[in-house]
Chain A
Amino acid sequence: MSTLNIPVNEKSWSLQEMALEVIKLIKPNSSVNLGIGMPTMVSELIPKDMNLMIHSENGVLGVSKRPKKSEVSPTLINAGKETISVLNSASFFDSSLSFGMIRGGHIDYCVLGGMEVDVHGNLANWMVPGKKITGMGGAMDLVNGAKTVIIMMNHFSKDGELKLKQNCTLPLTGKNVVHFVVTEKGIFKPNGTEFEIIKLT
């Protein structure tokens, strides 16, 4: 397997800067699903005037910011099981309908964390054989259903290995599904043979 050579700059974006880059990829007035982990930062930084409808796969459309103390409800949570508040335009529904919104192509963007992405747009983010199983949760549905799939992850693993691959080595979450990868080194687009560099730090 050939090793990818992606020239990057010394400078790294902070998590916050990465989140702001993700937000620049999202058009106003669209619907967005935000995954657990790094994408959580995106939800904290979305400007109100973008008028986004945030979808949470446990059955909420119209997620708003963290609740005030007086608004906290144990039955009002996002997919990360964190307490939330909702917009006055929000709606609640069951899980089947929620994933119908995803699978049916009604969600414009999803932002997910990743372990590996390859040049074919394959994503791995749900298990490391023999080491770690988190389960796929809603990720497999999201990557196949959302119109634009954005992966937000570190450029390198803890062992210093490039997480952008020629071919994923871990079990896949989805095949040919990723549109953009945002790391601390830049924005990349898998095109089938390589990662196009959209932007570097």
Chain B
Amino acid sequence: MQINQTSSSNYGLGQTPANFLRPEFPKIFPDARAALFDISDGISLMSGGFGLCGIPENSIQALCEMDIKNLTVISNNIGNSKRGLAKILVQDKISKAFCSYVGGNPDLEQRIMNREIEVTLIPQGSFAEKIRAHGMGIRAFYTPTGYGTLVAEGKEVKVFDRPCILEESLGADFAIIKAQYADPYGNLWFKESARNFSPLMAMAAKVTIVEVEEIVPFGFLKAEDIHTSGIFVQRIYQGTNYQNDIEYLLIDEDEDEAKQQLDHREKK
């Protein structure tokens, strides 16, 4: 799809979020607080993103400001470096978590060590597939991943061409995810590697709340280019003030240096 990748605000179409707040678009909400109105104590919540890439920033900020507790959170990293979901983690709003990777999240590692939070670590591929399976109506599947490790404890083992363990599907009450674009039906398009777990979580939650950089009119996303069909999306709002944090900025300095030298020579 030909989409200008640099745009982060309105795409020059003259549309504002308010234009979409119409009765014929019942999925569209004005902002995060409105879209998250029924998130309450004890619910289970999936959150998309890999590290800080593709995280639902506005929904997480709203959770920070809400008076809630005892959340069960299902997310690959539960935030990183005090950002993302780590913000509600340090508010002690999370009592239970499912994730695959703790590295780079000292707040979580500390809470695990102190047994302040109940964490289930799941191999990342099984984590993704358990969520996808739930969305697809598959109750469980056999996988070689984790066989012979702590992950296999208490799980049924069956030998096919090699030993496999039975992994059950994983769903949630709510999913909060972020996409680049949504149309008013909730058809989604994700940018680059920001897709990660979000399309799977959209399928696996009872209520999927999507924040986007931009709500676009019907037809802007071509039907064949849609990553997630709007049938999996219940609520949409346009987010604001995206930070889009980079965790580790690596730049090809050689090339920049070579270019600078070239520029220098050209100037001479």
Contact = CB atoms under 8 A, between A and B. Distances in A.
Interface stretch (B35-43, B59-67, B102-110): B102-110
Contacts of B200: 94-96
B101 interface: yes
B129 A96 contact: yes
Contact of B126 (A72, A98, A141): A141
A114 interface: no
A73 B199 CA distance: 21
A68 B255 CA distance: 7
Interface stretch (B20-28, B148-156, B217-225, B231-239): B148-156
Question: Is the interface on chain B under 10, 10 to 19, 20 to 34, or 35 or more residues?
Answer: 35 or more
B239 to A, nearest CB: 14
B249 interface: yes
Contact of A136 (B112, B121, B247, B251): B121
A95 B99 CA distance: 13
A145 interface: yes
A23 to B, nearest CB: 19
Interface stretch (B9-17, B87-95, B138-146, B168-176): B138-146
B123 A140 contact: yes
Interface size range of chain A in the complex: 35 or more
Interface string B110-126: 00110000000101111
Contact of A66 (B124, B126, B252): B252
Interface stretch (A5-13, A54-62, A153-161, A187-195): A54-62
A77 B143 contact: no
A76 interface: yes
A65 interface: yes
A176 B194 CA distance: 34
Interface string B246-261: 1111111001100100
Contacts of B53: 58, 74-75, 77, 81
B256 A75 contact: no
B50 A95 contact: yes
B128 A99 contact: yes
A59 B193 contact: yes
Contacts of A69: 251, 256
25 contacts: A58-B50, A59-B195, A60-B192, A60-B193, A66-B252, A67-B252, A68-B252, A72-B249, A77-B193, A81-B51, A81-B248, A92-B192, A94-B199, A94-B227, A95-B76, A95-B127, A103-B144, A133-B102, A133-B109, A135-B100, A138-B100, A138-B123, A139-B123, A144-B145, A171-B150
Interface of A: 36, 56-60, 65-69, 72-77, 79-85, 92-96, 98-99, 102-103, 122, 130, 132-141, 144-145, 171-176
